[in-house]
Amino acid sequence: MTSPAPGPDPVVPGAVNLRDVGGLPAGAAVTRHGVLFRSGNLARLDPGGTRALAELRLRRIIDLRADDEVLREPSRLDGVEAVTQRVPLFLGSVESFFRDDLSLDEMYRHLVDDSSGGVVDVVRGILADQPVLVHCTVGKDRTGVTVALTLAAAGVDTDAVVSDYARTEGLLPEYRNRRVVEMLRAMHPEARHLEDLATRSPAPVMRALLDDVTRRYGSAAEYLRAHGMTGDELDELRRVLLRRS
């Protein structure tokens, strides 16, 4: 039997990397469409973009950015009637990861280990209201790790979780990548991992992260349970995100 596939991405002018994670296989089930969306920031929406976002009927938007990022690029949400939940995930500044020249593997391990309470808060936000959108600045790292852990904890097949993460690289505009890399390279000329951090979402990195979480905790669901989620909440996560295929 052919595995279910994601449907067309919503078209929201000005939004970066916005997509619905519906249609992903989870054993005999599949993720529901129109429940969980993910994206980069919402600071460049034009009036058509805010109208298109409003048409998604979001009830909650979970913003994973730090205070300075939100102040620098506030979301444009006129007409979008959704609760905004702030869950800053990085302990420290985004700039520090470029300064310290971390690899993606290292940055993701820091996120899993140091921001576990925030990850749980995000999953609880997903349970609180749907449809829900989770976003950060690019929708690649904080959003990528959190959504991957959420999907894996709900029982989505590992290959599908990894593929959803890896899609981001192909959705970032080339002009954006050039501009960002040039700016960062001027600030950090010796950084070896700069382009990976700024522009890439390699499947092996996410697969290694999920393998590491499984090795240390038993599963993504047990990772969430170890940091405060209950069995009832995990059951509800599966109920909210999955339907029989």
Residue 7 lies in a domain: no
Q: Specify the pLDDT at position 22.
A: 97
The per-residue pLDDT for 7 is: 64
pLDDT tens digits, 202-243: 999 999 999 999 999 999 999 999 999 999 999 999 999 999
Residue 245 lies in a domain: no
What's the total number of domains in the chain?
A: 1
Task: Output the pTM of the full model.
Answer: 0.93
In a domain, 78, yes or no: yes
Question: In this structure, is residue 11 part of a structural domain?
Answer: no
Question: What confidence score (pLDDT) does residue 102 get?
Answer: 85
Confidence bin at 4 (pLDDT 50/70/90)? very low
Average pLDDT value for the chain: 92
CATH number of the domain to which 209 belongs: 3.90.190.10
Where are any strands of DSSP class E within the chain?
A: 19-20, 25-26, 29-31, 36-39, 60-63, 83-86, 132-135, 242-244
Residue 1 belongs to some domain of the structure: no
| Residue-level pLDDT at 168 | 95
pLDDT digits (tens, 9 = 90+) for 27-73: 999 999 999 999 999 999 999 999 999 999 999 999 999 999 999 99
Give the residue carrying structure tokens 């991992």.
Answer: 193
The rounded percent of the chain whose pLDDT value lies above 90 is 78
Please tell me the distance from the alpha carbon of residue 80 to that of residue 146, in angstroms, as a whole number.
23
Q: Measure the CA dihedral 94/139/109/213, to 10°.
A: 160
Residue 2 in any domain: the answer is no
Instruction: For residues 98 and 102, give the distance between their C-alpha atoms in angstroms, rounded to a whole number.
Output: 7
244 domain-assigned? no
Q: Is the pLDDT of residue 142 over 80?
A: yes
- Asked if residue 71 is part of any domain, the answer here is yes
CA angle 31, 54, 48 (to 5 degrees): 120
- pLDDT bucket at 95, cuts 50 / 70 / 90: low
Do 193 and 203 form a contact (C-beta atoms < 8 A)?
no
> Can you give the residue range of the structural domain that contains 70?
19-239
